[in-house]
Structure 1
Amino acid sequence: MKRQSIHAAVWSEGTTPLDVYPNDVNTTIAEHLNENRDIVAKAISINDDEQGVSNDLLDWCDVILWWGHLRHDDVSEKTVNRVEQCVREKGAGYIGLHSGHYAKPYKRLIGTSGDLGAVRNEQEKEEIEVVSPSHPIATGIDDFSLPKVEMFGEPYDIPEPDQVIFESSFEDGGEFRSGVTFTFGAGRGFYFRPGHEEFRIYHDPTIQQILTNATRWAANRSD
């Protein structure tokens, strides 16, 4: 029997700028998720015991949100194994965020490199189109823009997604599949591109709503 509330664990590595995320990005995301009565979120870190993802934590959580950037190589194979088992066998959801396209657990789950065709950090504008408006992750979301972003460009080395939810175009050129879903064994997966640490992206209400929707969907509480 599913418990009434969704348990979400938000992982990060402690490298975000303090002027943007004074208590780290994981705390910011968890605080916004906790504004929803049906979600109980906690911030976890690579600096915690067992790199934040102990067996007890994984038994507790329904969804893992993973933000990584500079410390991908510091994540141990034991940590990756625990996360993969939790997703594939126990059915936890996995949400990869921004530079988490290179996170070890994500690459293990997708089975490809996660490489990008281009990266550009010129503080340019991003236009995000909702290409699957009927998907639960897109509930209440219209096309929107972000004023300053780090650009990612295709080709994006991932397997064929189950569905593309969001597609991005950038002020200085380039396109990207910025929101894609997967099935990882018994678990649901979602990758969401926006989230460069120099900008206040996770404070944006539209981004917050997308992460809320994605958490519910990845926990298998919406179709």
Structure 2
Amino acid sequence: MATDPIRVLVWDENSSQVPKSVYPENIRGAVAAGLRAFGGDLFNVQTACLDDPDQGVPLAMMEKIDVLVWWGHDRHAEVKDALAAAIAERVHKKGLGLVALHSAHYAKPFKKTLGCTGHLKGGWREDGQPEMIRVCAPWHPVARGIKDFTLAHEEMYGAPFDVPPPQCVVFQSYFPAGGEYFPSGLAWSVGTGIDPSFESGPGGGVSQGRGVGRVFYFRPGHETLPTFLNTDVARIIANAVRWCAWRSEDEAGSSPR
């Protein structure tokens, strides 16, 4: 039912490179706290990590959540291929929402779901310099309540970004220290409901269709920096969870699931 809480699992790889002085409960704890702060009773939030049984996402759990939020960094290879395939299938066929954060561009579930490499072809740089984030699609539900903002310290990613064309570029980042740009908030529609053979169509608004699954990628979130404690970042993630669950304020009853 649309009035039930959105069931969210926030997962991270339990990286040893995340400083406890910044994130006492690791990344997953900070992201979960942000969801509870901005969602209240709208979200039923649980956390898990790579070192948990079944790598934190047993099949029984996967069947009982609406959105999976995933942060990874240096342990991508440890995630089992079978788990990544199961998550991708759940997104494509059952409408599980997937929110991928920062270096989850290399996470196996993200790459499997989108069929991409996730390469940063414009490079990356750990310099802790500012990241200026522009709202490119202020009408998109993930941008609700967000104005352009700056993170004082972040890691740089540079475009091109090797992912499929998104449905929408919601946010764009600029790194003034080196002049790089990166599409830092991307939304995709995937899975059942999309005609893979569709080209331009006959006009009249006829399209390839909408997939049951939604994926949102948000770029900021270097492991040593307090990005996930930023209120704009927390709001964006909360908005992304709502959008991936087909529960944004202006979407009541519109889910194809």
TM-score, normalised via structure 1 length: 0.97
Q: Which one has the bigger strand percentage?
A: 1
Residues matched between the structures, number: 223
Q: Give matches, 1:119-130, under 5 Å.
A: 119-130=124-135
1:182 alignment counterpart: 188
Q: Please show how residues 4-153 of structure 1 align to structure 2 within 5 Å.
A: 4-15=4-15, 16-35=18-37, 36-116=40-120, 117-153=122-158
Quick one: structure 1 residues 70 and 48, their matched pair in 2 at CA, closer, same or farther if it must change by over 3 Å? Answer: same
Q: In structure 1, the residue corresponding to 2:94 is in which secondary structure?
A: coil
Structure 2, unpaired ranges of 5+: 192-211, 252-257
AA matched with 1:44: A
Q: Which amino acid aligns with 2:8?
A: A
Q: Which has the larger Rg?
A: 2
Give the deviation of 1:3 after TM superposition. Answer: 5.5
2:189 pairs with 1:163: no
C-alpha distance in 2 between matches for 1:53 and 1:84 = 13
Aligned to 1:209: 235
Q: Is the Cα contact below 8 Å between 1:64 and 1:93 reproduced in 2?
A: yes
TM-score normalised according to structure 2 size = 0.85
* Matched position secondary structure for 1:82: helix
Aligned residue type for 1:107: K
The answer for unaligned runs of 5 or more in structure 1 is none
Question: Superposition RMSD on alpha carbons, in Å?
Answer: 1.0
**Equivalent pair of 2:2/2:247 in contact (CA under 8 Å):** no
Secondary structure of 2:166 counterpart: coil
Runs (4+) off by over 4 Å: none
Deviation per CA, 1:166-222: give whole Å up to 9, x if none: 000002110000000011212100000000011100000000100110110000102
